[in-house]
Amino acid sequence: QQPVQSPQAVILREGEDAVINCSSSKALYSVHWYRQKHGEAPVFLMILLKGGEQKGHEKISASFNEKKQQSSLYLTASQLSYSGTYFCGSCSGGYQKVTFGTGTKLQVIP
């Protein structure tokens, strides 16, 4: 089952903040975040592991609530380069199978 993301789309002006949410109906071991620009491949942002460990880029922050099976990605002081579709991926075991949501399309305008 795919995780559910919200919102589906958002438009920001440069400098504004945004939060993208991801929830799963299954118990989560880890949450993976990727960003995809139009016509390009998804690119890794970060992984949040059960227990609080995070792997990823320092400029991006996220949270992982294991009990609620939810994760949120925080984009602060948005830049034009943040535009793209953000995918969260859920992993319910300690293995490599990641199931992605349908994505959140983010557009940052001047």
By the rule CB under 8 A, 43 interacts with another protein: yes
- Beta-bridge mates of residue 49: 30
Q: Which of 18, 47, 75, 106 binds another protein (CB under 8 A)?
A: 47
| DSSP conformation letters of 2-42 | --EEE-SEEEEETT--EEEEEE-SS--SEEEEEEE-TTS--
**Cβ closest to another protein, residue 16 vs residue 54:** 54
Please give the residues from 1 up to 20 whose contact with another protein meets the rule CB under 8 A: 2
Three-state SS for 98?
coil
Q: Which of 75, 91, 106, 108 binds another protein (CB under 8 A)?
A: 91
How far apart CA 53 and CA 47 sit, in angstroms, is 8
Residue span binding another protein (CB under 8 A) among the ranges 18-26, 36-44, 58-66, 72-80: 36-44
Interface with another protein by CB under 8 A: which residues?
A: 2, 29-30, 32, 40-44, 47, 49, 55, 87, 89, 91, 94-103
